[in-house]
Structure 1
Amino acid sequence: MSIPAWSGRRAGEALLKVKAEGRRKDKPCIICKQGIDYSLTYPHEQSCSVQHVKSRKLYPHLTWEPSNWEPAHLSCNKAAGPGEDLGMGVTSEDW
Protein backbone atom coordinates (compact mmCIF):
# COMPACT_ATOMS: atom_id res chain seq x y z
CA MET A 1 0.00 0.00 0.00
CA SER A 2 1.42 3.39 -0.92
CA ILE A 3 1.48 6.32 1.47
CA PRO A 4 -1.27 8.81 0.63
CA ALA A 5 -0.07 12.32 -0.12
CA TRP A 6 -0.26 14.84 2.72
CA SER A 7 -0.96 18.09 0.92
CA GLY A 8 -3.60 20.37 -0.47
CA ARG A 9 -6.95 21.41 0.91
CA ARG A 10 -7.39 18.32 3.10
CA ALA A 11 -4.04 18.82 4.82
CA GLY A 12 -4.88 22.50 5.39
CA GLU A 13 -8.22 21.58 6.90
CA ALA A 14 -6.55 18.96 9.11
CA LEU A 15 -4.11 21.58 10.40
CA LEU A 16 -6.97 23.97 11.18
CA LYS A 17 -8.75 21.21 13.11
CA VAL A 18 -5.61 20.25 15.07
CA LYS A 19 -4.83 23.91 15.86
CA ALA A 20 -8.38 24.63 17.00
CA GLU A 21 -8.48 21.62 19.33
CA GLY A 22 -4.94 22.28 20.55
CA ARG A 23 -5.75 25.92 21.32
CA ARG A 24 -9.06 24.99 23.02
CA LYS A 25 -7.45 22.28 25.19
CA ASP A 26 -4.07 24.04 25.58
CA LYS A 27 -2.32 20.95 24.21
CA PRO A 28 1.48 20.91 24.24
CA CYS A 29 3.66 19.48 21.47
CA ILE A 30 3.18 15.71 21.43
CA ILE A 31 6.90 15.24 20.81
CA CYS A 32 8.76 17.64 23.14
CA LYS A 33 5.86 18.25 25.57
CA GLN A 34 6.48 22.03 25.48
CA GLY A 35 3.75 24.59 24.87
CA ILE A 36 2.78 25.66 21.36
CA ASP A 37 2.05 29.24 20.37
CA TYR A 38 -0.99 28.57 18.19
CA SER A 39 -0.88 32.10 16.76
CA LEU A 40 2.34 31.32 14.84
CA THR A 41 1.97 30.24 11.22
CA TYR A 42 3.98 28.19 8.76
CA PRO A 43 6.93 28.33 8.08
CA HIS A 44 7.82 29.45 11.64
CA GLU A 45 9.70 26.56 13.23
CA GLN A 46 7.64 26.79 16.44
CA SER A 47 4.29 26.89 14.63
CA CYS A 48 1.81 24.06 15.01
CA SER A 49 1.89 21.16 12.59
CA VAL A 50 -0.04 17.91 12.36
CA GLN A 51 1.86 14.97 13.84
CA HIS A 52 0.62 11.52 12.93
CA VAL A 53 0.75 9.50 16.15
CA LYS A 54 0.98 6.28 14.18
CA SER A 55 3.29 7.03 11.28
CA ARG A 56 1.99 7.40 7.76
CA LYS A 57 4.77 5.08 6.59
CA LEU A 58 3.75 2.22 8.87
CA TYR A 59 0.00 2.95 8.93
CA PRO A 60 -0.89 4.64 5.61
CA HIS A 61 -4.57 3.83 6.11
CA LEU A 62 -4.57 6.22 9.12
CA THR A 63 -3.24 9.23 7.18
CA TRP A 64 -6.60 10.99 7.07
CA GLU A 65 -7.93 9.65 10.38
CA PRO A 66 -8.41 12.61 12.78
CA SER A 67 -7.93 10.42 15.85
CA ASN A 68 -4.36 9.84 14.61
CA TRP A 69 -3.50 13.55 14.60
CA GLU A 70 -1.90 15.54 17.40
CA PRO A 71 -0.27 18.98 17.49
CA ALA A 72 3.51 19.26 17.28
CA HIS A 73 5.95 22.07 16.68
CA LEU A 74 6.95 22.16 13.03
CA SER A 75 10.61 21.75 14.04
CA CYS A 76 9.83 18.71 16.23
CA ASN A 77 7.76 17.15 13.46
CA LYS A 78 10.58 17.65 10.94
CA ALA A 79 13.15 16.22 13.37
CA ALA A 80 11.03 13.12 13.98
CA GLY A 81 11.15 12.40 10.27
CA PRO A 82 9.02 10.08 8.18
CA GLY A 83 8.27 6.66 9.51
CA GLU A 84 8.73 7.49 13.17
CA ASP A 85 6.04 5.83 15.25
CA LEU A 86 5.43 7.56 18.56
CA GLY A 87 4.03 4.29 19.88
CA MET A 88 1.05 6.03 21.41
CA GLY A 89 -2.17 4.12 21.52
CA VAL A 90 -0.45 0.83 20.86
CA THR A 91 -2.01 -2.06 22.71
CA SER A 92 -0.05 -4.96 24.11
CA GLU A 93 -1.42 -7.06 21.25
CA ASP A 94 0.48 -4.83 18.78
CA TRP A 95 3.86 -5.68 20.32
Structure 2
Amino acid sequence: MPRSQLEVNVPAWNGRRAAAALRQVKAAGRRERTPCVLCRQPIDYSLPSTDPDGCTVQHVKSRKLFPHLTWSPSNWAPAHKSCNSSAGTGENPMEPGVEFEDW
Protein backbone atom coordinates (compact mmCIF):
# COMPACT_ATOMS: atom_id res chain seq x y z
CA MET A 1 0.00 0.00 0.00
CA PRO A 2 1.55 3.35 -1.01
CA ARG A 3 2.04 5.93 1.70
CA SER A 4 -0.10 9.03 1.49
CA GLN A 5 1.72 12.27 0.81
CA LEU A 6 0.20 13.59 4.02
CA GLU A 7 1.73 10.85 6.14
CA VAL A 8 4.94 11.86 7.84
CA ASN A 9 7.37 9.50 9.52
CA VAL A 10 8.35 11.43 12.65
CA PRO A 11 10.38 9.99 15.53
CA ALA A 12 8.40 9.65 18.75
CA TRP A 13 8.66 12.42 21.34
CA ASN A 14 10.80 10.63 23.92
CA GLY A 15 14.33 9.69 24.89
CA ARG A 16 17.48 11.79 24.75
CA ARG A 17 16.21 13.99 21.98
CA ALA A 18 13.10 15.04 23.94
CA ALA A 19 15.22 15.57 27.07
CA ALA A 20 17.56 17.82 25.07
CA ALA A 21 14.56 19.77 23.76
CA LEU A 22 13.31 20.26 27.33
CA ARG A 23 16.74 21.52 28.43
CA GLN A 24 16.74 23.96 25.53
CA VAL A 25 13.24 25.26 26.31
CA LYS A 26 14.03 25.55 30.03
CA ALA A 27 17.30 27.42 29.39
CA ALA A 28 15.65 29.92 27.03
CA GLY A 29 12.63 30.30 29.33
CA ARG A 30 14.82 30.89 32.37
CA ARG A 31 17.00 33.39 30.50
CA GLU A 32 14.04 35.30 29.01
CA ARG A 33 11.71 34.80 32.01
CA THR A 34 9.08 33.37 29.68
CA PRO A 35 5.73 32.63 31.34
CA CYS A 36 3.64 29.54 30.59
CA VAL A 37 2.42 29.76 27.01
CA LEU A 38 -0.99 28.42 28.10
CA CYS A 39 -1.89 30.22 31.33
CA ARG A 40 0.60 33.13 31.05
CA GLN A 41 1.64 32.67 34.71
CA PRO A 42 5.32 32.53 35.76
CA ILE A 43 7.13 29.19 35.66
CA ASP A 44 9.59 28.08 38.36
CA TYR A 45 12.29 26.73 36.07
CA SER A 46 14.13 25.17 39.01
CA LEU A 47 11.36 22.60 39.52
CA PRO A 48 11.62 19.22 37.78
CA SER A 49 9.39 18.73 34.75
CA THR A 50 7.51 16.03 36.70
CA ASP A 51 6.20 18.67 39.15
CA PRO A 52 2.77 20.09 38.19
CA ASP A 53 4.30 23.60 38.26
CA GLY A 54 7.49 22.51 36.49
CA CYS A 55 8.37 23.37 32.89
CA THR A 56 7.48 21.09 29.99
CA VAL A 57 7.68 21.52 26.24
CA GLN A 58 4.40 22.65 24.73
CA HIS A 59 4.09 22.18 20.99
CA VAL A 60 2.51 25.41 19.81
CA LYS A 61 1.05 23.63 16.81
CA SER A 62 -0.31 20.19 17.70
CA ARG A 63 1.98 17.22 17.06
CA LYS A 64 -1.05 15.29 15.85
CA LEU A 65 -2.12 17.91 13.31
CA PHE A 66 1.38 19.12 12.39
CA PRO A 67 3.67 16.10 12.92
CA HIS A 68 6.38 17.58 10.70
CA LEU A 69 6.83 20.35 13.34
CA THR A 70 7.36 17.94 16.26
CA TRP A 71 11.13 18.41 16.36
CA SER A 72 11.18 22.04 15.22
CA PRO A 73 12.42 24.33 18.03
CA SER A 74 10.32 27.17 16.61
CA ASN A 75 7.25 25.09 17.54
CA TRP A 76 8.29 24.67 21.19
CA ALA A 77 7.24 26.86 24.09
CA PRO A 78 7.47 26.46 27.87
CA ALA A 79 4.33 25.38 29.73
CA HIS A 80 3.55 24.15 33.22
CA LYS A 81 3.18 20.37 33.32
CA SER A 82 -0.38 20.76 34.66
CA CYS A 83 -1.33 23.18 31.86
CA ASN A 84 0.29 21.04 29.18
CA SER A 85 -1.42 17.89 30.45
CA SER A 86 -4.85 19.53 30.37
CA ALA A 87 -4.33 21.22 26.97
CA GLY A 88 -5.20 18.11 24.99
CA THR A 89 -4.08 17.31 21.46
CA GLY A 90 -5.21 20.50 19.77
CA GLU A 91 -7.48 18.56 17.44
CA ASN A 92 -10.42 20.91 17.94
CA PRO A 93 -9.90 23.90 15.64
CA MET A 94 -12.31 26.01 17.69
CA GLU A 95 -10.94 28.30 20.35
CA PRO A 96 -12.32 27.62 23.85
CA GLY A 97 -15.43 29.61 24.60
CA VAL A 98 -16.39 30.31 20.99
CA GLU A 99 -20.08 29.77 20.39
CA PHE A 100 -22.09 29.71 17.19
CA GLU A 101 -25.10 31.95 16.77
CA ASP A 102 -28.39 30.21 16.18
CA TRP A 103 -28.99 29.75 12.45
Between the aligned partners of 1:28 and 1:9, the Cα distance in structure 2 is 25
Structure 2: stretches of 5+ with no match in the other structure: 1-6, 94-103
Instruction: State the partner residue of 1:31.
Output: 38
Query: Structure 1's 8 and 85: CA in aligned 2 closer, same or farther, altered over 3 A?
Result: farther
The one of 47, 54, 65 equivalent to 1:58 is 65
Identity of aligned residues (%): 62
Which one has more relative contact order, counting CA pairs under 8 Å at least 6 apart?
1
Q: CA RMSD in A?
A: 2.0
Q: Deviations over 1:17-55 (max 9, x none)?
A: 000000000000000000000000031100000000011
Larger proportion of helix: 1
Structure 1: stretches of 5+ with no match in the other structure: 87-95
> Structure 1 length as normaliser, TM-score?
0.84
Q: Is the 8 A contact 1:54 1:85 kept in 2?
A: no
Q: Is the 8 A contact 1:22 1:28 kept in 2?
A: yes
> Structure 2 length as normaliser, TM-score?
0.78
The residue type equivalent to 2:44 in the other structure is D
Alignment: residue pair count: 87
Between the aligned partners of 1:52 and 1:85, the Cα distance in structure 2 is 15
Instruction: State the partner residue of 1:21.
Output: 28
